[in-house]
Structure 1
Amino acid sequence: MNLFSRIPDRFFSILSSPLKEFYSDILFLIYDEYSISAMGVKREDCVRIITSYIEEVESDSLDTELMEDIGEAAQSPRDRASMVLRKLEDTGWIEIETFTDYTQYVNLTDYAIKILDVLKKIRDGYEEEFQGYVFDTYNNLYSEGADKHPDIILEKVYDSTYSLINNLKSLYSNIKTYTERILEEKEASEVLSSHFIDYKSEVIDKSYHRLKTSDNVSKYRVRILRKISDWERNNKLLDRIAKGMVERERYKSIDDAKEGIIKTLNFIQEGYRDMGRLMEEIDKRNAQYTRASLNQVRHALYSNRDTRGQLAEVLAWLSGYIKGNDVNFKDPPPEEIDAIHSIYSQGYIDDSSLYKPRKTIRAPQFEVIEGFELDEALKNEKVISIKEKMQKSLTRDRVNAFVMDVLKERASIRASEMDIKSVEDFIRLIYIFAFSQSKRVGYRVDRLDERVEGEMFSFPEAVIRRK
């Protein structure tokens, strides 16, 4: 469905106009009042709120821009407030409803409520707590509700996982934004303020520190993956979930529901498996920010004081000169740059010179080794031995081909079904486990909390699945 079949065409016009800050402030004021009201906000109250705001920020430029935007002249702040309310109604942000007692109420449209909720969080720098999502997922999977209404629980777990991953990506992007911002700071005081006030309060304290300590997602990840794996293997449970999804009209048929459920379970599994890699990237991005911050402080403090600062000054001038002018390096540099260096050519070398003359390197002398004949039978024996070792070597491709041959048409197989009887079989199983982490194999291994006790070997039970 097209976005603007649900949202009016002029909906975003007020947020892209010269009065965007004025309109956004008005919308947030109405949203705050609407949030604590059970039936909407009386039109008179909205007019009063807008009137008070206009009186606070009243200026000739605002009056002129409002008149140009609305297309009418208004004498009083109250008249201008009424025109603003009409503008919000025309663009689809609000609806005005008249009750039987002729009292008019202002209600935000359903899509306006959702958009304002997001915009308010962005404006206030609101950060979600990662632990809340992980704990909700764990709590839902191991609750009584998971037995009674597994279809509803699965949806909640999916929503929590989706929000968690998006918030981790948002944190990653946020650190990148701060890194780019700090590179634009020139003064040491600005760099330090950005690092210890803005970045520390908005990123470190709100998200990154809790992510590494109290909100560490690793606390429940293993148990969540174990429960999802159990659900995936429980055909009766999958049938119950599919039936519940169809009854609640999430899907049209049982087959469609089962396909959607498998995709949902895979999404949750992949999300929690890849979370470690995403957190590593967040750590790297935070380290990049720290290095950038430190380098900016060094540049600001030591510029024009030592050799490093002087070189930085020269390079900064060259960069600006190249960007803003046609380069002609035959022209003399400006006085402030020319005064930085005092380089002159050395005219002579005496006994006290630090120069060390180069020494002639003699070509190495080689000794000729007399040849000898290799016994042909021994040579053939060695060649055969090497070929046999190469054929027995367990490369990633050979192990992958073996697993695919064992699986055949099956989607998965347990390690205990692979008939481990010899040392070679056991070694091959170890390689299967080891290579499962590679992206270039067509299978993955999910370990279970069981052990297989054979005649000769003992190993952890696992499910080997196609990717």
Structure 2
Amino acid sequence: MILMNEIPDRFWGLFRSINRSTYIEALLKINEEYEYSNYFLSREVCIQVLEEYFTAKRLVIWQDELEDEADVSEPTAVRVLNWLLRAGWLRKVDDYASMTVNIVIPDYAAVMIGAFFKLARDEEDETQIYIQNVYAILFSLKHNPRAGISLLNTAYINTKRLNKTLQDMLHNMDKFFESLLEKKAYGELLKEHLEGYVEEIVKKKYHMLKTSDNFYLYKNDIKRWISSMRDDVEWMEQMSRRSGQKVTAGDIGEKLDQIERGFDDIEHRIANMDREHSRYIRATVTRLNYLLNQEDNMKGLVIRLLNHLSETADQDEAVKEVGSRMNLSQTSILSERSLYKKRKTRSGFKENLLPEEASVELTMEEILELNRLKSRYSRKEIESYIESHLENGRMEVREDTVDSPEEFEKLILAYDYSTRRKSLYQVEDPETELIDNGRYRYPKLVFVRRKES
């Protein structure tokens, strides 16, 4: 039976009523007493519960569209109960055996009251409930031989609800970004952040998803069980036989795949929440710094001036008044660069530079002098470098001869040393090909012992 078809038209009048908050609180109190009285309440008990509640709260009720002058003269508890009965939120059941009138809550109204209860109370987070339900169901499927396919369907529904809850949590984080711009003082924003975002999101929801003893602990076990059940062909055949329906092992495997994909989607949503959380923290810190320093920098003062002009009713008069105190036509005020420290432009900087001189190729002596290599190694060290590479009285420079900056410097100095008249070694043929080993380029030299003349 579709409950929507049972709802009377007057039922929706509660949401248009001026007394809707009072009616909702009355429904919650009756529902609370309804649960603790074996779901059986007389009219007298309902009136007594409402009278005690209204006396403590001291609520005021206005005349409603469904009420007449006779109803207004009734006590507040009786007026509220009668209105809820007329609108279809409650229903009378006559007990002729005991000669009493009982009050019951219709099924469609119970659904709406449950929604009111969630909106008005801060119960345990639903993400924790759904993940525990899936965990318990899959544990039963894995170890209980009497578990059937209906439990697997329940696990899939709980996975979808968990995904929906996380999606709603992610989308509702936008309201915290809006509150950043609404707060005009540093203390107000800090209080909103600590009592709003940290208490409602971080501690109650976000922290629960990120701690190791909650979601990720359950997730690892659930994925491991799904994998083992999918690979256990005998278990899947037994499940299909126990179901008593036309359910094949393939259908069971597909349902397991859907649950596994659902947990992959959950991980993606948690990753998106991580990004939104980081964005909010950065935006909050930026906004706090602005509110803290807006009196001390040009950017904060200009923004305050613009906000003041936009909020003024007579903007033309306000601009004239500001213009009498500030020269708004100056480039230093209107230019966006004025919000920062004033600097010289690149073009002005280039005009003051001296003209570039044409680059001249340096000689070997100038290179050595520029790098100051001569003083780094003595003559004895250069000779030892050449002698360490001698083979049959010859040092042939190859690709593996130079493998570090020090070896490259020593090779340059060795060639410079070979050109000296009193050097012990000389180069056979200075006009030779170049070697490129990927890191250095140098000539393919051959050093030999200088002949005594």
TM-score, with structure 2 as normaliser: 0.64
2:148 is matched with which residue: 136, 147, 150?
Answer: 150
Q: CA deviation at 1:235?
A: 5.3
Q: Contact 1:134 / 1:160 at 8 angstroms: preserved in 2?
A: yes
Give the match's secondary structure for 1:333.
helix
**Cα distance between partner residues in 2 of 1:48 and 1:303:** 58
Q: Contact 1:43 / 1:104 at 8 angstroms: preserved in 2?
A: yes
Q: CA deviation at 1:133?
A: 3.3
**Cα distance between partner residues in 2 of 1:337 and 1:21:** 51
CA deviation profile, 1:62-102 (whole Å, cap 9, x unmatched): 45x32544233346553x43332222122221122222101
Give the match's secondary structure for 1:301.
helix
**Cα distance between partner residues in 1 of 2:194 and 2:30:** 35
Alignment of 1:314-393 (within 5 A): 314-317=305-308, 333=319, 335=321, 344=330, 356-358=349-351
Q: Contact 2:41 / 2:104 at 8 angstroms: preserved in 1?
A: yes
**Cα distance between partner residues in 1 of 2:326 and 2:289:** 18
CA deviation profile, 1:305-334 (whole Å, cap 9, x unmatched): 32231132244346657xx89x98xx8726
Query: Which AA in structure 2 matches 1:86?
Result: N
Q: 1:161: which partner in 2?
A: 159
Q: 1:421: which partner in 2?
A: none
Q: CA deviation at 1:154?
A: 0.8
**Identical amino acids, percent of aligned pairs:** 25
1:83 is matched with which residue: 60, 79, 98?
Answer: 79
**Cα distance between partner residues in 2 of 1:40 and 1:265:** 42
1:201 is matched with which residue: 194, 199, 202?
Answer: 199
**Cα distance between partner residues in 2 of 1:191 and 1:20:** 32
Q: 2:15: which partner in 1?
A: 15
1:283 is matched with which residue: 274, 288, 301?
Answer: 274
**Cα distance between partner residues in 2 of 1:218 and 1:308:** 45
Matched, 1:295 2:286: yes
Q: CA deviation at 1:167?
A: 2.3
Query: Which AA in structure 2 matches 1:121?
Result: K
Give the match's secondary structure for 2:70.
coil
Q: 1:437: which partner in 2?
A: none
Q: Contact 1:54 / 1:77 at 8 angstroms: preserved in 2?
A: no
| RMSD, aligned CA | 3.7
CA deviation profile, 1:398-433 (whole Å, cap 9, x unmatched): xxxxxxxxxxxxxxxxxxxxxxxxxxxxxxxxxxxx
Q: Which moved more, 1:160-169 or 1:123-132?
A: 123-132
Q: 1:176: which partner in 2?
A: 174
Q: 1:137: which partner in 2?
A: 134
Distance verdict in 2 for CA 1:228–1:173, change over 3 Å: same
Q: CA deviation at 1:191?
A: 0.9
Larger Rg: 2
Q: 1:454: which partner in 2?
A: none
**Cα distance between partner residues in 1 of 2:164 and 2:202:** 18
Query: Which AA in structure 2 matches 1:271?
Result: G
1:268 is matched with which residue: 235, 259, 270?
Answer: 259
**Cα distance between partner residues in 2 of 1:294 and 1:312:** 18
**Cα distance between partner residues in 2 of 1:130 and 1:67:** 40
Give the match's secondary structure for 1:148.
coil
Give the match's secondary structure for 1:11.
helix
Distance verdict in 2 for CA 1:343–1:334, change over 3 Å: closer
Q: Which moved more, 1:232-241 or 1:114-123?
A: 232-241
Q: Contact 2:208 / 2:215 at 8 angstroms: preserved in 1?
A: no
**Cα distance between partner residues in 2 of 1:210 and 1:315:** 43
Q: 2:69: which partner in 1?
A: 72
**Cα distance between partner residues in 2 of 1:68 and 1:172:** 40
CA deviation profile, 1:274-325 (whole Å, cap 9, x unmatched): 222111111111122222322332333333332231132244346657xx89
Distance verdict in 2 for CA 1:225–1:171, change over 3 Å: same
Distance verdict in 2 for CA 1:236–1:55, change over 3 Å: same
Give the match's secondary structure for 2:91.
strand
Q: Contact 2:4 / 2:108 at 8 angstroms: preserved in 1?
A: no
Q: Which moved more, 1:312-321 or 1:178-187?
A: 312-321
Distance verdict in 2 for CA 1:160–1:338, change over 3 Å: farther
**Cα distance between partner residues in 2 of 1:32 and 1:295:** 46
Q: Contact 1:42 / 1:106 at 8 angstroms: preserved in 2?
A: yes
1:97 is matched with which residue: 89, 93, 100?
Answer: 93
Q: 1:218: which partner in 2?
A: 216
TM-score, with structure 1 as normaliser: 0.62
**Cα distance between partner residues in 1 of 2:89 and 2:249:** 39
Q: Contact 1:228 / 1:265 at 8 angstroms: preserved in 2?
A: yes
**Cα distance between partner residues in 2 of 1:135 and 1:30:** 31
CA deviation profile, 1:30-71 (whole Å, cap 9, x unmatched): 111112110422211111223344455667xx45x3254423
Q: Contact 2:47 / 2:78 at 8 angstroms: preserved in 1?
A: yes
Gaps of at least 5 residues in structure 1 are: 248-252, 347-352, 366-467
Query: Which AA in structure 1 matches 2:12?
Result: F
Q: CA deviation at 1:234?
A: 4.9
Distance verdict in 2 for CA 1:67–1:14, change over 3 Å: closer
Q: CA deviation at 1:10?
A: 2.7
Q: CA deviation at 1:140?
A: 2.8
